[in-house]
Structures are given as structure tokens and as C-alpha cells.
Amino acid sequence: MLAGLAAFSGPIHGNAIVRVRALLDDARAAGTDAAVRRWLAMSPEARLPGFGHELYPQGDPRAADLLAAFEAPDSARELIAHVERLTGAKPTIDVALAALVERCALPEGAAFALFSMARSVGWIAHAIEQMTSGSLLRPRAHYIGPPVEDD
């Protein structure tokens, strides 16, 4: 759980919300089209924070479900529609959380707290499942160090 939270606090994962909020602020200040084009020009891989998810190429279902549960602010809806028209990229959970935080006037850091609490439930469920099954879930790494000796 602690390892998950430590990794989660990095700029690409849990704290991606900071970049999403900056994009939303820029879109409100400079206009959606100008802001999106500026951010795309700054991104070497032509990706916007909060849009396009590697695991969900058809769209992040978490974002779709959350956005369907409330009326997002106009600025968020405009940004989502513009990015989809321009790039085809759909919003991730980070955009949905930023919209929720704005809609509910939640304090700074609320999106990170909500996302990390939700992920924590999943991490605990994975830990319980691994303990009861005796095997790793989705192991992706391969140990290449010295042989481990049994004590």
C-alpha cells in the first residue's frame, strides 16, 4: 500500500491532475483553441495532460462514468469536446476529477485525495487476493539479480 502511494505521487500518475488543472486554467484564460494548440506544441509526443490513456485506447471508462454522473463545468466540457475534435483523444480520469473538483468547489488537493483513496481500495483488494491465492497478480517484472537463498 505504501509503495503504491509513493509511486502514485509522481508527476505522471497521481499528480497528473496538476498538469490537467494548468491546462484547464490556460484554456479559460487564453481560450480553448489557443491553449490546446500551445500545449500540443510544447509536448514532444503531441499529448495533452489528461487525454488519451494507454490502457484504454477507446476511452477511459472511469472518466466516462464519472462525467456522466454530474454536469461538468462549461470550461471542462468545452475543452473535452475541442480536444476530441482536434485529436480524437478522450479524457482520462484526471480530467473528470478536475471537472468534479471545480463543479463541487472542493479544496486544492481534493482530486489527488479522491483518486488515491479509490486506488487504495484496489491495492488492498489485490494484496488480499495475492495472499489468499499465493501468486502474484499481473507480474510484469523479472528478477535478474543474484540467486535468492532460502534461510
Q: What is the pLDDT of residue 5?
A: 79
Q: What is the pLDDT of residue 44?
A: 67
- Burial of 19 (C-beta count, 10 Å sphere; 0-12/13-18/19+): middle
Q: Which one is predicted more confidently, 68 or 126?
A: 68
User: pTM of the prediction?
Assistant: 0.80
Model confidence pLDDT, tens digit, residues 87-116: 999 999 999 999 999 999 999 889 988 988
Structurally, at CATH architecture level, domain 2-131 sits in Orthogonal Bundle (1.10)
Q: What is the pLDDT of residue 136?
A: 77
**Domain boundaries of the chain, sorted by first residue:** 2-131
- 122 has a pLDDT exceeding 90: no
Q: What is the pLDDT of residue 14?
A: 67
